[in-house]
Structure 1
């Protein structure tokens, strides 16, 4: 049955019936607004929007994976501040002829990604639209920790990475050329593997700056460098090219380091740590903070785009 056949409130009932709620949810969907506990008395908030044809394609990804990806993009921003995710709000604009079952699968994906980090979907909105659009707002709790912004990196700090980069970008390139393999890369594009615990852990260990790598490592490190008033140099040798990526790059005529250093959508975490820090499990050193401005690779400017820009 289509969304139009079910109706707005019928669709809301179908979606909310599929959700579960954690202990931070004091009042969930069904009222004018939700009520979420904020034990720290500070709330971390972030929002992202995904537009069909720009951020996802239904012929490339199923509704469940699109839902997980939509949630991950926001949850990664929360943990990049050193916070624990608590809740998501979802606004959905859909064509009237879209299958109601598709929306239910989308809700399942969003809910699964949220519950995996202890967060709950607590409300949102729905509207008809010719363009399928998913807007997600994530909330988080700092648990007494100071937020880790982009502005604290200092010369001498280590630059480290948790998670992987380049896999989703390689998967996007593979799909855009009409292929469906290597599966490792295609699945990375469809559903990112976010290192959620690494963000709060980095905050506890004294990270001076941190960012979610959504648009490309060099581009996002550029935001850290600008906010902190420093330069960052990345070690190319810190990145191994996995066999599937090497083979795909050779077949498609692409430099794999363009994916690794400038590809987005994996939602790894990049952070700066004081130089004496023993990096925890899951983090690896990839460079250093220096005096100056901008981001370099092995001391030289990177040849090519540093990342994604929606308006370029």
Structure 2
């Protein structure tokens, strides 16, 4: 049987190995030369820093008790809630030379909101923990809070930040935990796809990967270190760079998919091929993707990650909701292993986003 590769050229992994040998000066957090001592987290202290951040965060519609007590209280009308968490660490997950503080807040919210949406739930609350170098500017954390607030307002209106924590670290780290309400519906899991189901996607395929490829190739200086000015110029010229740094997944389509009877769903955080394989294994089926529906470069659509689009399967004949579009069909595994095929051809590898492979935690 002919086999199809998912690897996109050029491979970011090749550039990452060279990138890993250099540490960008921003790895210790945004610098603060010439600033007053109270402009930094270390100088201002925890209480003063929080006093500047908290007013910028959104209060959710379901929040009964927000920041300021030992724990938050969030309404759970369904009697159940979904919960997920994502960690963003400088090096493996982002570069301060490429991402603005606003980008970090936006992307941290987006990745978690997409996980909630993929269960068919409505995002209700976020808990945000930050560990940052002592020289980090408080103003940068204010901008990060603005990114969180604006992401919630655009993608999940009514979702609020209900609490969190702030600490000091040599590595800039953002951890977000998200909660969601199922609205009386069962969660949409990964193991419900059945032969004959339509495979559909809502959102971008490969945009974040194309943006990352541009940053690796053109957003670095002559020594290969991430360069803020070059990245900003790239972002102005190519919207895919902005999508990598601050994606806008179709959060509302998660609930629409659940209402329409989606049999399985997940968010495409690690790439179409890798994430579709997770549904195939969980459901014991073959997910057969149509290469004609994967855009101009199917390799990038299959192997790229971090779009945070929604992948779902629907019973045949379903009127696909929202922005969902068909990209394949579910077939019986028969005597073979559950897997992903493209045009009924096996993949020779299931590529996708892997921070352990593609980026180095010691890179700048």
Match for residue 26 of structure 1 among 51, 61, 64: 64
- 1:288 equivalent among 298, 323, 329: 329
1:217-241 C-alpha deviation (Å, 9 max, x unpaired): 1100111111111110100101222
**Runs of 5+ consecutive residues of structure 2 not aligned to the other structure:** 1-38, 220-233, 358-364
Indicate whether 1:122 and 2:150 are aligned: no
Other-structure match for 1:187: 242
Give the conservation status (yes or no) of the 8 Å contact 2:102–2:145: yes
In structure 2, what is the equivalent of residue 229 of structure 1?
284
Matched, 1:165 2:205: yes
1:197 equivalent in alignment to 2:252: yes
Q: Is the aligned partner of 1:101 residue 2:101?
A: no
CA distance in 1, matches of 2:275, 2:295: 20
For residue 185 of structure 1, report the CA deviation from its aligned partner: 1.1
Q: Which residue does 2:55 correspond to in 1?
A: 17
Residue of structure 2 in register with 1:57 after alignment: 95
Equivalence for 1:250: none
Secondary structure at the counterpart of residue 301 of structure 1: strand
Q: For the residues of structure 2 that align with 1:235 and 1:134, how far apart are their CA atoms?
A: 37
1:202-217 mapped onto 2 (5 Å cutoff): 202-217=257-272
Aligned to 1:218, which of 257, 273, 286? 273
Q: Deviations over 1:197-224 (max 9, x none)?
A: 1100000010000000000011001111
Q: CA deviation at 1:20?
A: 2.9
Gaps of 5+ in 1: 242-255
Distance 1:279 1:167 in 2: 22
CA distance in 2, matches of 1:79, 1:20: 19
Paired residues in the alignment total: 298
After TM superposition, the structure 1 stretch with the greater mean CA deviation from structure 2, 34-43 or 9-18, is 9-18
301-310 or 5-14, which moves further after superposition? Answer: 301-310
8 Å CA contact retained: 2:60, 2:162: no
Question: Any conservation in 1 of the 2:92–2:356 contact (CA below 8 Å)?
Answer: no
1:157-196 CA distance string (max 9 Å, x none): 0100000110011000100112425421111111112111
Query: 1:246 matched to which residue of 2?
Result: none
Cα 1:304–1:257, aligned 2, differ >3 Å: closer, same or farther?
farther
Indicate whether 1:145 and 2:185 are aligned. Answer: yes
Q: Following TM superposition, by how much is the alpha carbon of 1:22 offset from its aligned partner in structure 2, in angstroms?
A: 2.5
Q: Which residue does 1:259 correspond to in 2?
A: 300
Q: Distance in 2 between matches of 1:281 and 1:27?
A: 33
| Match status 1:45 vs 2:45 | no
RMSD (CA atoms)? 1.2
Report if aligned partners of 2:304, 2:352 keep a CA contact under 8 Å in 1.
Answer: yes
**Other-structure match for 2:347:** 302
- Tell me how far 1:303 sits from its aligned partner: 4.5
Higher mean Cα deviation, 140-149 or 181-190? 181-190
**Shift >6 Å, 4+ stretches:** none
2:316 aligned with 1:275 = yes
Segment of structure 1 superposing worse, 112-121 or 43-52 = 112-121
> Any conservation in 1 of the 2:119–2:254 contact (CA below 8 Å)?
yes
Task: Name which structure has the greater RCO, CA cutoff 8 Å, separation 6+.
Answer: 2
Q: What TM-score does the superposition give when structure 1 sets the normalisation length?
A: 0.93
Distance in 1 between residues matched to 2:350 and 2:277, nearest whole Å: 12
How far apart are residue 310 of structure 1 and its match? 3.5
TM-score, structure 2 as length reference: 0.80
